[in-house]
Amino acid sequence: MWNKESLLKSETLTVKVCGDDVVIRKLKAGEVLKKGNDEDRAVEMVAASLIEPVLTVAEVKNMPIDAVNSLLAEIMTFNGMDKEAKQGN
């Protein structure tokens, strides 16, 4: 049975992006369900999810777009937000 601790615990995953390992964490509902345009939300989700290395929103905006896209794809999959996960529901 779920309890408060299990619902609020943070899960992490090490993924390889552009040839290097990074550590991401599962996002919280409040980090995903923010208002704003899709581009800003995507950058904010990447910054919020990164555990190692820790980057600010401004730093994520200065990353190469291929790295941001690769990170976002890993984050979406890890959080069950990718297209395949939606089709199965």
Per-residue pLDDT, 85: 47
pLDDT in tens, 60-78: 999 999 999 999 999 999 9
Whole-model pTM: value is 0.79
d(CA 53, CA 59) in angstroms, rounded, equals 11
Name the residue with higher pLDDT: 85 or 65.
65
Q: Work out the angle between the directed axes of helices 65-78 and 38-49 (0-180°, nearest 10).
A: 70
- Count each helix (H run) and each strand (E run) in the chain, helices first: 6, 3
Report domain extents, the chain. 10-88
Element (H, E) at 62: none
d(CA 19, CA 69) in angstroms, rounded, equals 14
Range with top average pLDDT, 6-10, 28-32, 39-43, 59-63: 59-63
Q: What share of the chain is helix, strand, coil (3-state, %, to 5)?
A: 50, 15, 30
Amino acid at 88: G
